Amino acid sequence: MKMRFYWKKTTLIVFILLMFTNTFLMAGIVKGQVKTAAYWPTNEWNVTNPSDQDMNNATMYEIYDFIEAYNVNLHSVSIVRNGFLVHEEYISNYKLREEKSYGSEPDYYGIDVVINGSLHAQFSATKTIIALLIGIAIDKGFIDNVNQTFAFFFPTLTYNNLSKKNITIEHLLTMTSGIYGDTDPEFGGDKTIQQILNPDLKSIPGSLFRYSSYSINLLSAIINKSTGQKTSDFAQEYLFDPIGISEEDSYWLENSERINTGGYGLYFTPQAMARIGLLMLNNGMWNDTQVISENWMLKVGTPQPEPQPNEDYGYLVWMDKYSYHAAGLLGQLIFLIPAYNLTVVFTADSSASIYTYIYMIDNFIIASIGNFPPSNPVILGYSLVVFLPLMILSVRLIYIKIKKKYNLL
């Protein structure tokens, strides 16, 4: 008996099945799919069990065995997934604390590492906040663009070399200003803006990467001058308040001119750090409000071309295997991991390398996730776009083979 094979109907059925399956995948209904970031923290975080976000709690807590075994002097670990705070712990002397606060942490060369048991020195992670604030100042029209020079804002200061007048905002953002670096003899002490400018340049602006904390103080001075506000006040109004960081959640040091330091000097709670990380993870978006333009955030996270070393630096952020991160002395770190919708925050007093932190993320945090995301998790419906044509073609080829073999009508 001859059978009739309905090519058009079969194709339609395959199409409907794929659409149905893909819709469930996109909605996160099929078991094992990562939940979407449907929650944004307000004044308080929504704290959930790791299992609610497809994370294994036992695997996650193995990080503390590693910390103790290898003497990694962490002070806190905070993990946010899909907008939910799934983990926050504090550590003293390599052991977990019962209290959700810091212990009595030592000073670092006369600098308080912890203030009031909750605010932790960010050291150079402060620089990343400055990069975000420069973007906001450009978005709001206080600054025109990154090609404006420092001298444009401060024409009356003394520039003993014409090259110093060519230092642009972008040179400062990319550590190519030529101003002395953190390992040079000129580094150290409380300096005014003029005192930062006085020493000879180490290189022509734009020609050489030199990590320079004091040069970022110039960016803070530009924010102060262009907006008419202290950098800390500008940050509170345009960055911290919109994402729920209260005045009690931060503290910012000033120089003798009452200009907030830019290369260091900010103190944050771990949860404030996590809010910054969540904002960056979402390209400047917070609960349907574009706090910082997406275009600026893409620039922040884009590796700079030469003369950057190994293209591992953006706008005051460091590139890594996941995307980019904010980094401060002794292990103050905000990691963004878009593939898993994760923000991971560390505070510490440790000499451990960045690779130690990446090892901990890979082996205890990412490893705790029950199911891995698709190869391109950003593009919803990716599986449908790729596989639908292949499935239709396969059905067509099967139809031709069956027709030939069985002489179907």
CATH number of the domain that residue 151 is part of: 3.40.710.10
Give the model's pLDDT for residue 44.
Answer: 87
Residue 228 and residue 88 share a domain:
no
Residue 144, domain extent: 124-264+282-316
Greatest Cα pair distance in the chain: 98
Residue 363 and residue 326 share a domain:
yes
Residue 321: partners with Cβ closer than 8 Å, 6 or more residues away: 358
Residue 380 and residue 292 share a domain:
no
pLDDT digits (tens, 9 = 90+) for 218-256: 999 999 999 999 999 999 999 999 999 999 999 999 999
Residue 288 and residue 166 share a domain:
yes
Within 10 A of 349 (CB to CB), how many other CB atoms are there?
A: 18
User: Structure pTM?
Assistant: 0.82
Give the model's pLDDT for residue 8.
Answer: 52
Tokens, residue 311: 């293209």
Residue 211 and residue 288 share a domain:
yes
User: Structurally, how many domains does the chain consist of?
Assistant: 3
Residue 196 and residue 294 share a domain:
yes
Residue 366 and residue 324 share a domain:
yes
Burial of 259 per CB tally in 10 Å (0-12, 13-18, 19+)? buried
Residue 209 and residue 86 share a domain:
no
Tokens, residue 85: 């705070």
Give the model's pLDDT for residue 241.
Answer: 98
Q: Find out whether 301 and 128 touch, Cβ atoms under 8 Å.
A: no
Residue 143 and residue 288 share a domain:
yes
Give the model's pLDDT for residue 110.
Answer: 82
Classify residue 67: in a domain, yes or no.
yes
> pLDDT below 50 — which residues of the chain?
1-3, 5, 7, 10-37, 372-391, 395, 398, 402, 409
Q: Which amino acid is at 73?
A: N
Q: Reading across the β-sheet that carries 324-328, which strands appear in turn?
A: 95-96, 84-92, 74-81, 342-348, 332-337, 324-328, 318-319
Give the model's pLDDT for residue 407.
Answer: 56
Classify residue 290: in a domain, yes or no.
yes
Give the model's pLDDT for residue 5.
Answer: 44
Sign of the C-alpha dihedral computed for residues 70, 72, 75 and 81 taken in this order: negative
Residue 356 and residue 251 share a domain:
no
